[in-house]
Amino acid sequence: MLRALGASLAVAALAGCNAANETANSVARAGAKKAVNQVLFTQFSAVDSTNVVPFTDCVIDNANGYEINRLAQNAIGGITSQTVGIVTTVLKRPETGACIAGTGLARALAS
């Protein structure tokens, strides 16, 4: 009986940790999106308010955890050359290019 209770408590604790991690991840991603938007608007003339969301989503979806956290910190502390470097690095990844191409933006920007 005590083992079952202990196991139940462990599962509940893990579920609570998982929920907290998901919340923290969502907050970091939201902050990172703000930083990415700012970089895209200032560094890439082909990106404007009508097409920034798919670019931003592709960058965020292809950034690793470290990059997301750095971008989120820069959204608060201000955009730096490091922020631009992270966004540029992620944009150069084949997966990011495929994501952007999948949105149809590449064709729209080429015309």
pLDDT tens, residue by residue, 71-92 = 999 999 999 999 999 999 999 9
pLDDT (mean) for 22-34: 81
Q: Could you tell me the pLDDT band of residue 31, with boundaries at 50, 70 and 90?
A: very high
State pTM to two decimals: 0.73
Res 17: pLDDT: 54
More confident site: 9 or 73: 73
Q: What is the rounded CA–CA span in Å between residue 9 and residue 32?
A: 34
Res 9: pLDDT: 44
Kindly write down the DSSP assignment for every residue of 74-105, as one continuous string.
HHHH---HHHHHHHHHHHTSHHHHHHHHHTTH
Give buried/exposed letters for 8-17 (b at 16+ CB in 10 A, else e): eeeeeeeeee
